[in-house]
Amino acid sequence: MEYNFFNHFIFTYLIVLIALIGWFSMMFIKGKRLIRPNKSKTGS
């Protein structure tokens, strides 16, 4: 009988997905921190 490697695939998919979500979250936080000083300059 052939072994079903579905778990291996899902594991791979989740790793790629979590890494990408992590990267985008990190960039979002970095971007926000950099934009904030500009906002305070205009008084908004």
Partner 1 sequence: MFVTRFNNRLRTGIIIMILLMIINLVNILFNSPLVPIQQWAQKIFYYHVPCAWVAFLSFFIVLIAGIMFLKTKNYKYDRLGLAAAELGTFFTVLVLITGPIWASAIWGKAWTWEPRLTTTFVLFLIYSGYFMLREFGGAPERVARYAAILGIIAFIDVPIIFISVRFWSPEVQSHPQVEMALQPTGIMTTFFFSLFTFTMLYFLMLWIRTGILSLKVKNQ
> Min. distance of Cβ 30 from partner 1 in angstroms?
5
Of 34 and 43, CB closest to partner 1? 34
Alpha carbon distance, N-terminus to C-terminus of the chain = 67
Q: Tell which residue, 38, 17, 21, 40, has the closest CA to residue 29.
A: 21
Residues forming contacts to partner 1 in the complex (CB under 8 A) are: 2-6, 8-9, 11-13, 15-16, 19-20, 23-24, 27, 30-31, 34-35, 37-38
Q: How far is the CB of 24 from partner 1 (least distance, A)?
A: 8
- Contacts for 18 with CB less than 8 Å, ≥ 6 apart: none
